[in-house]
Amino acid sequence: MPATMPAYRTRAERFDDLVLDAVERLERRWARQLDGTEFAVEDVPPSNPAPWERGGVPLGRYFPADAGLPARIVVYRRPVEARAHDPLDLADLVRDVVVEQVAHMLGRSPEDVDPGYDAGD
């Protein structure tokens, strides 16, 4: 669709929508625990990995609340897109990344956070 058309969405905007869909799905079950948590999309992770990250490029990251700042979960668009085979796979991968980061934040397994989570994907 041409960029001049109202329905035109960039790839980044469509990715943002996938993240919002995943967050909304989790908020139905975990609203109280997610209250105040910020969710964001960045194109790429910073070049300095977190101390616990070993090998590979992270697809997302959880930043605990600190010094008056709320907890924050970031999904990195380009690494996620690079791993997806098609649009359906991209939606599944985005959901999995969001679930994994929320699970990390809540101290639970991804399967507890979202029973539809499949670690084998």
Residue 93 near residue 120 (C-beta atoms within 8 A): no
CA dihedral 30, 32, 34, 35 (to 10 degrees): 150
Q: What is the pLDDT of residue 83?
A: 95
Phi, psi angles (nearest 5°) of residue 41? -120, 130
Q: What is the pLDDT of residue 49?
A: 64
Q: pLDDT (tens digit, 9 = 90+) per residue, 24-39?
A: 999 999 999 999 999 9
Q: What is the pLDDT of residue 95?
A: 97
d(C-alpha 96, C-alpha 26), whole Å: 11
Q: What is the pLDDT of residue 28?
A: 94
**Would you call 97 helix, strand, or coil by DSSP?**
helix
Q: What is the pLDDT of residue 46?
A: 84
- Which residues in the chain show pLDDT less than 50? none
